[in-house]
Amino acid sequence: MRADAVVFAVGGIVFGLIVGWVVGEQQARHRAESVAAVTAAAPVSSAPADQPAVLDDDQVKTLTTIAEQDATNVNARVQLGNLYFDAERFPEAIRWYEAAVELDPKNVDVSTDLGVSYYYNQDPDRALEQFDRSLAINPSHVKTFFNQGIVRAFGKRDLAGATESWERVVDLAPGTPEAVAAQRALDSLGAAHQAQTDGASPSDGQ
């Protein structure tokens, strides 16, 4: 068995926990932004963070009307992207995030949310390209490096690249939830790789 196959088999457990944390953290942030930014709209969903939010059709209609009436309204487009992202309707989230980024290309948070949406829409290459754009805006953006590590590891099976990304998270933001999750992933992948190496025979080239 190839070493990377063993690493991914064991690392997949941690990956599931990390992805759950990422989605939950982003959903919580999106909901807080929606409450602050769209006070006239219907209340956002209070669904638990570990489950997709129920899409609030009234809020979608309100924000869509705002976006259609004002071609320069970035915030309405961001909030629509957030609502669809939280409901795990990623093609629609991509549509609105792309529109927001076109209007506000320096918004690193939206750029990274767009990259995450590409990944969940089964397009890891496009996700990584978008993360590169985010890092061109802010070379120290922790959430971008964290998500870049996930896509490199589990979208592209690039362990070296994932390690580099997660080490940057730990260096840039020690003690934060992102750094703790990144270190957990690094520890898990390192332990799995070491266990495979210790158990491999000298002639094991597969």
pLDDT tens, residue by residue, 56-67: 999 999 999 999
Give per-residue pLDDT as tens, 149-194: 999 998 999 999 999 999 999 999 999 999 999 999 899 877 665 6
> Could you tell me the domains of the chain?
3-199 (1.25.40.10)
Give per-residue pLDDT as tens, 66-89: 999 999 999 999 999 999 999 999
Of 20, 75, 99, residue with least CA distance to 52: 20
Q: What is the pLDDT of residue 9?
A: 38
Q: Among residues of the chain, what percentage have pLDDT more than 70?
A: 67
- Mean pLDDT for 100-110 is 97
Give per-residue pLDDT as tens, 18-53: 555 454 455 555 544 433 333 233 223 233 345 677
Of 115, 135, 113, residue with least CA distance to 124: 115
* Radius of gyration of the chain from its Cα atoms, rounded to whole angstroms: 19
Two structure tokens written together for 84: 């669809």
- Taken in order 179, 3, 132, 110, the sign of the CA dihedral is negative
| Cβ atoms 153, 162 nearer than 8 A | yes
Q: What is the pLDDT of residue 188?
A: 84
Q: What is the DSSP letter of 110?
A: H
Give 150's Cβ-side CA count (13 Å radius): 29
Q: What is the DSSP letter of 89?
A: -
Q: What is the pLDDT of residue 19?
A: 53
pLDDT band at 7 (very low <50, low <70, confident <90, very high): very low
* Exposure string over 77-100, b if 16+ CB within 10 A, otherwise e: bbbbbbbbbbbebbebbbbbbbbb
- Mean pLDDT for 110-124 is 96
Q: What is the pLDDT of residue 206?
A: 47
Overall pTM > 0.85: no
- Mean pLDDT for 3-18 is 43
Which residues contact residue 159 at a Cβ distance below 8 angstroms, ignoring those fewer than 6 apart?
A: 4, 7, 153, 189, 193
Q: What is the pLDDT of residue 29?
A: 54
Q: What is the pLDDT of residue 170?
A: 97
| Cβ atoms 34, 16 nearer than 8 A | no
